[in-house]
Structure 1
Amino acid sequence: MTTPRLEIRNISRIFEGRRVVDDVSLSVLPGQVTCLLGPSGCGKSTTLRIIAGVDMQDAGEIHIDGRLVCDTLYRVPPERRSVGLMFQDFALFPHLTVAQNVAFGLSGSKLAKRTRVEELLHRVDLVRHIDDYPHQLSGGEQQRVALARALAPRPKIMLMDEPFSGLDNRLRDEIRDETLGVLKDEGAAVLLVTHEPDEAMRMADEIALMRAGRIVQQGAPYNVYNAPVDRDAAAFFSDINVIRGKVQNFLTDTPFGRFLTPAMPDGSEVDIIIRPQHVKIDLDRNGRGPHPTPEDGVPARAVVERARFMGAESLVEFRMDHDGSVLKATVPAVFLPRSGTPMWLMIRRDRCFVFPASGQERRG
């Protein structure tokens, strides 16, 4: 079994009586990219600072390659942890050239340092700027210099705190993909902090979803997206539709037919969650809709509230006949029915999630 390159065990950090980081554990293998994903203020950056050694935990341990580097009594200094850092602010030295920035912190002969600098600048396609200064570079180029500088000492672990947030969307995707390729080639264990689900899905081998100081779900992007642990986890990755119902005899009645809800107590309310891309749409045929099916349940009638073209897809909002609630559906390409158009909606049973209603806790 491969020893984790980075392992943190039961880390907690308390500020002014509040647990900013609360019993967090995770591990990252060599060459693996793990994204610590969550909303602003959930403790992601504090966790990163503790791993880097610039902040101290109140409980827990940090191990690198199976060796203890920090607990509440013992502490290896940050500069001896073989950890690279990248932040939103590239923090390049304005008075140093690109080559000098990348070489900063390197030891060894002048030739060895120059060789390493040129190797990395070739990898990030910036060797032509080797003698330029940071102010002569674009934002994307500065980001790549910062990456090269962080990788120059060959760190075992790369910690990245929202490093792409300062770039425009189109450039961000390009730089992220380039960065991921370089990091994979170097074999570093990468822990990336972000509040953007798309970034985590694009870059991560594993996602650790964080909320209020705790990791609430961890796994491969596919699993975290398709098997959320609760309503909030589902909503963090995309828009959701919520259909509320009450459980009776392990069944919940909805406008889309009955749902089997065997894990919920009788009389409890549940939220049935469906993402907009899994709502199916059919035409109204003189007040009639399609026939019910086991896969899609019973169709429910709705009226188009509004429709918007979003580029790769169209977003249509419907006002449901049965209670006036609004459901959203996304459709590939151009689909822009007029407001007031009656249609029939169905929801794929295999794409629904059932959770205790918001505000209720699961019992039993």
Structure 2
Amino acid sequence: MVIRPQNPIFFIGYDTKVQAQVHVTHPEVTPPRLEIRNLVRLFEGKAVVDDVSLSIQPGHVTCLLGPSGCGKSTTLRMIAGVDIQNSGQIYVDGNLICDTVFRVPPERRSIGLMFQDFALFPHLTVGENVAFGLSGPKEKKHKRVSELLERVGLFHFIGDYPHSLSGGEQQRVALARALAPRPRVMLMDEPFSGLDDRLRDGIRDETLALLKEEGTSVLLVTHEPEEAMRMADEIALMRDGRIVQRGAPYNIYKSPADKEAVAFFSDINVLQGTVQGALVDTAFGEFLAPGVPDGGAVEIVFRPQHVGIDFDRGGRGPNPTELQGTPARGLVERARFMGSESLVEFRMDHDGAVLKATVPNVFLPKVGTAMWLTVRRDRCFIFPKKR
């Protein structure tokens, strides 16, 4: 017989069997590597960071993703200790490092920080830059510096100065310097934004591999969804100082919290409608809107890659199907080749709205061409319209 706990937060990972009597064990629960609780930061009375809570397990990468000005970097600065919260607490391995009364100095938090501009010291060599935060015997420091520079492939630059290195090489030196003291947490503030697009993906992958090898927990700040999807174990989507959704990248993308969350990851199309009997009538047929009262306004949101295109056959389109719904006709307004796909914009006959569709490879119909569009029902999101 297995005793199953009522509260999984406090009872984790055991399989206690009953023999002579019931006996439940309470093993220690490992605390998160980094935990922030109810952080608030006010500037001139306005909450720039508003009740933000977050936890990161050892060796995991969490991404704070959101538009500029949403509070991402301010959150990072409070964790690093270069800014102070108005309320809330910060913990590392279960130990309080900062609240509104108690505060561990930044240099004693075992937290590394990487900036957008790498912030290397120009008057120090590559080796001296990496050794900057280390203490102890010279031989021990040299061993650590050599080990890290070997792992990032830059040992042969140990005696060179930063100005002689490329942007990608400087980024790897900055990473080695941040990792040298073996921080338990690494904070990264858009560290790849200054790199050439051709280098960025490779540098991201190398950086992630090294951080995983070191077992460092990472909190990465970015406004680029692709970067978050590529690097993160978990994404925390921020807007107006608050976390509006948290989850694995796949879940955030496939089950967005609202229209704005869908739009942050890709272009969107939006149909407007009013609910009657749990149904919304549109040019593409009826959509189910369970839980929305009659007369409620809703928005039906879908991505351009989930729009099907078919040719006009003398004023007729394809037959309706359960999955694709009813086709609606539109005229091509613009078509552009984007490199790996084509983006086509249509002016819809029904209401004059413009809808976008993407098609793999080259598809460039002439402006004014009549075509029929369908929308995958299982790829649509229906949200109550915000006032």
Matched, 1:314 2:335: no
How many angstroms does 1:241 deviate by? 0.1
Match of 1:189 in 2: 217
Matched, 1:216 2:275: no
**Separation of aligned partners in 1, 2:376 and 2:151:** 46
Instruction: State the secondary structure of the residue aligned to 1:150.
Output: helix
Match of 1:107 in 2: 135
**Separation of aligned partners in 2, 1:48 and 1:148:** 20
Instruction: State the secondary structure of the residue aligned to 2:177.
Output: helix
Matched, 1:330 2:365: no
- Matched pairs, number: 359
| Runs of 5+ unmatched residues, structure 1 | none
How many angstroms does 1:286 deviate by? 1.3
Matched, 1:204 2:232: yes
One-letter amino acid of the structure 2 residue matched with residue 302 of structure 1: G
Match of 2:182 in 1: 154
How many angstroms does 1:93 deviate by? 0.8
**Separation of aligned partners in 2, 1:306 and 1:79:** 56
**Separation of aligned partners in 1, 2:152 and 2:242:** 35
**Separation of aligned partners in 2, 1:274 and 1:66:** 42
**Separation of aligned partners in 2, 1:312 and 1:61:** 46
Match of 1:248 in 2: 276
Runs of 4+ with >3 A deviation: none
One-letter amino acid of the structure 2 residue matched with residue 124 of structure 1: V
Matched, 1:36 2:36: no
One-letter amino acid of the structure 1 residue matched with residue 338 of structure 2: M
| Runs of 5+ unmatched residues, structure 2 | 1-28
Match of 1:47 in 2: 75
Residue of structure 2 aligned with 1:284, choices 312, 318, 321: 312
Instruction: State the secondary structure of the residue aligned to 1:185.
Output: helix
**Separation of aligned partners in 2, 1:112 and 1:98:** 17
Task: Write the mapping of 1:226-241 to structure 2, written as runs, cut at 5 A.
Answer: 226-241=254-269
Matched, 1:27 2:20: no
More displaced stretch, 165-174 vs 208-217: 165-174
**Separation of aligned partners in 2, 1:38 and 1:72:** 26
**Separation of aligned partners in 1, 2:343 and 2:264:** 18
One-letter amino acid of the structure 2 residue matched with residue 232 of structure 1: E
One-letter amino acid of the structure 2 residue matched with residue 307 of structure 1: A
**Separation of aligned partners in 2, 1:160 and 1:112:** 26
Match of 1:145 in 2: 173
One-letter amino acid of the structure 2 residue matched with residue 343 of structure 1: M
* CA displacement, residues 58-87 of structure 1 (integer Å, 9 cap, x when unaligned): 111111001111111111111111000001
**Is contact 1:90–1:142 with CA below 8 Å preserved after alignment?**
yes
How many angstroms does 1:105 deviate by? 1.4
Instruction: State the secondary structure of the residue aligned to 1:207.
Output: strand
How many angstroms does 1:240 deviate by? 0.2
Instruction: State the secondary structure of the residue aligned to 1:175.
Output: helix
Match of 1:117 in 2: 145
* CA displacement, residues 306-342 of structure 1 (integer Å, 9 cap, x when unaligned): 1110011000001101111110000111111111111
How many angstroms does 1:282 deviate by? 0.9
Matched, 1:175 2:203: yes
Match of 2:87 in 1: 59
How many angstroms does 1:123 deviate by? 1.1
**Is contact 1:2–1:29 with CA below 8 Å preserved after alignment?**
no
**Separation of aligned partners in 2, 1:304 and 1:89:** 44
Matched, 1:72 2:137: no
How many angstroms does 1:2 deviate by? 3.9
Matched, 1:94 2:122: yes
- Output the TM-score relative to the length of structure 1: 0.97
How many angstroms does 1:262 deviate by? 1.4
One-letter amino acid of the structure 2 residue matched with residue 111 of structure 1: E
Structure whose alpha-carbon radius of gyration is higher: 2
Residue of structure 2 aligned with 1:6, choices 34, 37, 50: 34
One-letter amino acid of the structure 2 residue matched with residue 219 of structure 1: G
**Separation of aligned partners in 2, 1:310 and 1:95:** 44
The 1:110–1:275 alpha-carbon spacing in structure 2 relative to 1, beyond 3 Å, is: same
Percentage of pairs with the same residue: 74
One-letter amino acid of the structure 2 residue matched with residue 150 of structure 1: A
Instruction: State the secondary structure of the residue aligned to 1:132.
Output: coil
**Separation of aligned partners in 2, 1:240 and 1:226:** 14
